Amino acid sequence: MAKVLLLLNKQYYVKVKAGEYKDRSQRGNASCLRNEKVGGGHITWTPDYILPHMGNFECDFVYLAPVQSSKANASSEEDVIGLIAWF
């Protein structure tokens, strides 16, 4: 499972660097991983990180959201009024 998460993380890293996804990483390293630990010791993920053969790999995985264009973020007055009414 750790290898799959690291593979997904590398794919998202490339997308963040290309501007397709927002960097929501904990340490500003364009990573989906948070609170990374190996064998109980804290680590910071880097793109060249290699999973060790011994020790437990622990982390939280955060799915990154794609960057939306400014047009998609713009709301019409009706949308804003509807949102305010909902709250």
For residue 24, name the pLDDT band (cuts at 50, 70, 90). Answer: confident
Q: What are phi and psi of 51, to 5 degrees?
A: -65, 125
Residue range of the domain that includes 6: 2-86
Tokens linked to 70: 């400014």
Question: 73, 72, 42, 71: which is closest to 59 by C-alpha?
Answer: 42
pLDDT in tens, 39-76: 989 998 898 999 888 889 999 998 766 766 555 555 66
Domain count, the chain: 1
Q: What is the pLDDT of residue 20?
A: 87
